[in-house]
Amino acid sequence: MTITPDNLRLILGLKVKNLRQGRNESLSELAKRSSISISYLSEIENGRKYPKPDVLLRLAEGLGVGYDELVSAQLGGELDGLEPLFHSDFLQEFPFELFGVDVAQLLGLVSDDPLKAAAFLQTFLEIGRSYDVNVEQFLFAALRSYQRLHDNYFPELETAAAEYRRSRDWGTGNPGALRLRRELEEEHGYVIDDRTLARDPELSGLRTVFLEGEPPRLMVHPSLSPAQQAFVFGRELGFRVLGLHPRPETSSWVRVESFDEILNNFKASYFSGALLIEEEELVEALEGLFRRKRWDPAAYLEIMERFDTTPETFAYRVSQLLPARMGISRLYFMRFQNAVGSPDYQLTKVLNLSGVATPRGVGSREHYCRKWVALRLLREIGERGDSAGPGPVPDLRGERAHFAPEGVEFFVISAARPLFLQEGVNTCITLGLLMDDAFRERVKFWDDPGIRRRQVGLTCERCPMTSEECGVRVAAPTILQTERLRERRLAALELLRERRPEPAPVQG
């Protein structure tokens, strides 16, 4: 067990409350017998205070247990089932405070019925093990929930980027990789190394590695495009300007030390996107695009090229500004990867603000619908053999996707191209906008007859389409079949209760 001061306070609080309730005593009764104030005893039970030895001794006597038993880190008795929570990193790492939840209050709830709470906890942990869900995935899920609470728009980060831009008199255009690199080198004393990573076989797949010290050293892969370098340097400036600590060492997550690392990396990345793509400029460009009566992919590409960023940075920035600035808040952002020739597609990034059950997250064991425009684009560029190197312009496509099970329709923009640093792997960025009243009011081309419409599902395992309706199914609808069998059985049971048939006579 990881013994920390917080753990000791929480364990003591659980034990005191459980022992008191086992004696059917009120707080005031125990407080009087132990010569402790009611308010202080309440703080102990809530895991907020850890008393001095003389108080602990009086408390042990009041509860009728030995001093050593009371202060032991072992829960004991019916609280034993809660020990896995303290053995795991979840309690220490999950950012409860971000959602206004106090850990002590949470444990106070479960201590009211520890046996049921332990059964629930064991079930929760078993589900996590069954689906190979670790603490890191919980932490990233917490970040996504935090983003959803704010519609993925953070005014304080927008302001910080705008003020930094003004302080440097950069105007509203993309400052560019060279200017941002000079900022790091001249203003923050960075040494930027663009040789080492490419020579190290174990690290050559990383875009950046940061080494703290004097001077700070940032290793950057030399194969990054200028647009990718600009984002990397902008993020690094974000860590410095915003004073974000702790922070990750690498661009891709090799290990996660804490939720603060994840949150700070998100803030620095947000700062970089806002620095590269000025808020008002993008809003104005999008308003012009949405005023068109016809969907024009070339116009979308022209805006993206004007800001000189990658398809991912651009689409993600659009997803940040649409809810707060244009009222189009029900959307999702996804990133898929696919190795050329492989039938497998990995969902490597997802943020769903739509309120609709779109793709369910990273690492799903189900088979994503092969009719999605993103997966079709990946298959097409793989078949063409475009994976030799990143092209200047991605394959872009816009479609109307009708999700059959949910009965909702999205306007989907997908951009696919080969992936940097991973030869033979392609990536596709998708931005899906729910075609609700807010979308139709803002986007004048919503009913453009030239936009292709396609009926899609979520995964093959959940899809009701027949083989005649879908010729690209790669797995049987097992989850749908199980759900329908359950519905039929429930209906049959209800009918049985209504009819209450007499038992058939015994044949003799």
pLDDT above 90: residue 125: no
Is residue 224 within 8 Å of 180, Cβ to Cβ?
A: no
Read off the CATH number of the domain in which 23 is found: 1.10.260.40
* 316 and 361 assigned to the same domain: yes
Average pLDDT, rounded, for the chain:
87
Residue 99: what pLDDT? 64
> What would the pLDDT profile of 360-407 be if each residue is shown by its tens digit?
554 467 899 999 999 999 999 998 876 444 455 789 999 999 987 778
pLDDT above 80: residue 300: yes
Read off the CATH number of the domain in which 154 is found: 1.10.10
Q: Is position 438 within any domain?
A: yes
* 346 and 220 assigned to the same domain: no
* 123 and 206 assigned to the same domain: no
Residue 120: what pLDDT? 64
Q: Which of 100, 131, 162 is where one domain is finished?
A: 131
- Measured CA to CA in angstroms, residue 169 lies from 61, 166, 190, 319 at distances of 70, 5, 22, 27
Confidence of residue 1 (pLDDT cuts 50, 70, 90): very low
Number of domains into which the chain is organized = 3
Q: Is position 395 within any domain?
A: yes
270-299 mean pLDDT: 98
Q: Is position 283 within any domain?
A: no
Q: Which domain holds residue 37?
A: 5-131
Higher pLDDT pick, 447 / 73: 447
Q: Is position 300 within any domain?
A: no
Percent of the chain clearing pLDDT 70 (strictly above): 86
Q: Is position 110 within any domain?
A: yes
Query: Per the confidence metrics, is the pTM higher than 0.85?
Result: no
Residue 122: what pLDDT? 65
Helices then strands, each counted (H, E), the chain: 21, 9
Query: Which residues, at least 6 apart from 153, have a Cβ–Cβ distance to it below 8 Å?
Result: 320, 321, 323, 324, 325
147-176 mean pLDDT: 95
Q: Which of 254, 276, 298 is where one domain is finished?
A: 276
Q: Is position 500 within any domain?
A: no
Helices (H), 389-464: 437-442
Residue 389: what pLDDT? 46
Q: Which two tokens stand for residue 433?
A: 């906008």
* 227 and 319 assigned to the same domain: no
Q: Is position 371 within any domain?
A: yes
* 315 and 257 assigned to the same domain: no
* 126 and 216 assigned to the same domain: no
* 156 and 266 assigned to the same domain: yes
**Rounded Cα gap, residues 476 and 24, in angstroms:** 56
* 58 and 27 assigned to the same domain: yes
**Rounded Cα gap, residues 231 and 384, in angstroms:** 29
**Rounded Cα gap, residues 242 and 156, in angstroms:** 10
* 121 and 166 assigned to the same domain: no
Confidence of residue 129 (pLDDT cuts 50, 70, 90): low
Higher pLDDT pick, 484 / 503: 484
* 257 and 325 assigned to the same domain: no
* 100 and 201 assigned to the same domain: no
**Rounded Cα gap, residues 280 and 162, in angstroms:** 10
E-strand stretches of 390-468: 395-403, 408-418, 425-434, 452-456
Q: Is position 282 within any domain?
A: no
* 414 and 382 assigned to the same domain: yes
Higher pLDDT pick, 35 / 118: 35
Residue of 349, 350, 403 lying closest to 373 (CA atoms): 403
Confidence of residue 253 (pLDDT cuts 50, 70, 90): confident
Give the range among 61-70, 355-364, 479-488 with minimum mean pLDDT.
355-364
